[in-house]
Amino acid sequence: MILEGAHRRSIARTADGAGVAILDQRLLPWEVKWVELRDAATAAAAIREMWTRGAPMIGATAAYGLAMALADDPSDAGLAAGYDLLVATRPTAINLRWALDSVRAHVADLAPAERAAAAFARADAIADEDAALCRAIGEHGLALLRTLHARNPHRPLNILTHCNAGWLATVDYGTATAPIYLAHDAGIPIHVWVDETRPRNQGALLTAFELANHGVPHTLVADNAGGLLMMEGQVDAVIVGTDRVTANGDVCNKIGTYLKALAAHDNGVPFYVALPYTTFDPATATGADIPIEERSADEVKWLTGPDAEGMIRTVRVTGSPAANPAFDVTPARLVTAYITERGVLDKV
Ligand SMILES: CSC[C@H]1O[C@H](OP(=O)(O)O)[C@H](O)[C@@H]1O
């Protein structure tokens, strides 16, 4: 099912203002289902179990989750318990901690009776700011894509992306996809190679869904195809999102990103990382210091999707042991530039 319109806001306050509505991304693209989160425990489950995902998106969700915690218990103990519950959901994306720290700082000195409303207001501001940041990333990235396309103006610009760094991973526009959307809308012929992104298949299920919804030409490929495509000259640039960029510019992103960066470096293909300031972590020195989330081995061993009758089923591919690191680290030396809301920077 295609959503009406193209990119859109992926989180919104409920009508009564007491909760938030998010898309259950585990069901996409087969079913478009908005679910309401009305307490901190449900918000934590939504993040931990990846009903919703993407660094800025889990930051916004956690911010609202802390506001809901304070609506239930505005005491210092309630603030601490809500913070601890939500910050423990996923360790790698710095946006989660950044957003929780921001809300906590905003309310800590307030009287308990004032905390929930102030926390919701701060969460609203975080969400609105993210949409604006991603739009600005798109504007700066658009200028870059115009320059790249001018080198071969008689054919579409070919971009490869990994995982989903789209409007589903943020409040709107996306980070890696924002320049793609704006370039398409500006009439620049663009085509996207979409890495399927095993094992959670965010590319196959989410990025392909987003691009189809926006009418952007794209081709789904196996994660291992990117190196050949670059060697054959079929990729003009790689653009990815990120979950954390450290003080020295190392980039933590979905598992497999590092291998794309190596292939890009070996083939002289520019490798760009798109991020808002909320994903930059100057307090962490290098990528070696980032906690890499290890998710359930079942994500590698099981597959979920519609059967011939359209029923969503999960099947086990193997009974063998499996390992499932969810992220890797691309050294700064392999990054051509960072596409940010402040511009395209050769270092952060
Ligand atoms: C714009 S942040 C997107 C970033 O988050 C994804 O991770 P996950 O799907 O596990 O939340 C992936 O690393 C994307 O690049």
The finding on whether 140 has its CB within 6 A of some atom of ligand 1 is no
- Would you state the pLDDT for residue 305? 87
Q: Beta 251-254 vs 244-246: how paired, if at all?
A: antiparallel
Same domain, 118 and 264: no
Same domain, 23 and 42: yes
Query: Domain containing 123: what range?
Result: 2-129
- Would you state the pLDDT for residue 6? 61
Same domain, 124 and 198: no
Adjacent-strand bridge partners of 20: 13, 37
Same domain, 13 and 109: yes
Helix axes 55-72, 112-151, angle to 10 degrees: 170
Distance 170 CA to ligand 1 centre (A): 9
CATH number of the CATH domain containing 88: 1.20.120.420
Same domain, 180 and 301: yes
Same domain, 55 and 189: no
- Would you state the pLDDT for residue 2? 47
Looking at 129, 148, 170, the residue that finishes a domain is 129
* Domain-located, residue 134: no
CATH number of the CATH domain containing 146: 3.40.50.10470
Q: Complex ipTM above 0.90?
A: yes
Catalytic residues: 243
The finding on whether 92 has its CB within 6 A of some atom of ligand 1 is no
Q: Which of 198, 196, 179 has the alpha carbon at shortest distance from 188?
A: 179
10-residue block means of pLDDT along the chain (348 residues)? 63 96 94 96 98 98 98 98 98 98 98 98 98 98 98 98 98 97 97 98 97 96 98 98 98 98 98 98 98 97 89 90 98 98 95
Same domain, 26 and 115: yes
331 contact partners, CB below 8 Å, separation of at least 6: 250, 287
Give CA–CA dist 13/202, Å, rounded. Answer: 25
* Domain-located, residue 250: yes
